[in-house]
Amino acid sequence: MDPLQRLLSAIPKAAQNPLALVAYLAAIAGWVFIAARVKRNRNLLQSLDKLPSDQRLAALRLEMGNLPIPDSLTPA
């Protein structure tokens, strides 16, 4: 059974209790958000070598947000 099918099949059980349904929807929203971030980061890391070496650190900082990235990180 694929993941989407399993998610959809669990809705009737979660809908029996309004709080359970809210928690279920929040968990799905969190999963979608994290999956999108992981995909973006994977795409960036796969194409990082195509950027000029002086722009790589800036691209990483832009994508990672507030996470500290040390200046000692080399372009390689």
Domain limits for position 39: 19-64
pLDDT at res. 1: 63
Cα–Cα dist 65/61, whole Å: 6
| Domain-located, residue 9 | no
Tell whether 60 is covered by a domain. Answer: yes
Q: Is residue 34 part of a domain?
A: yes
- Tell me whether residue 4 is in a domain: no
pLDDT digits 0-9 by tens, 3-32: 778 877 888 887 788 888 888 888 889 988
Give a yes or no: residue 54 inside a domain. Answer: yes
Residue 32 lies in a domain: yes
Number of separate domains in the chain: 1
With a threshold of 0.85, does the pTM exceed it? no
Structural domain contains residue 44: yes
For residue 70, the SS3 value is coil
Q: How far apart are CA 7 and CA 24, in angstroms?
A: 9
What are the tokens at 36? 């999108």
pLDDT 10s digits, 55-73: 888 888 888 776 787 778 7
C-alpha distances in Å from residue 29, one per residue of 26, 58, 65 = 5, 29, 20
Considering the domain boundaries, does residue 58 fall inside one? yes
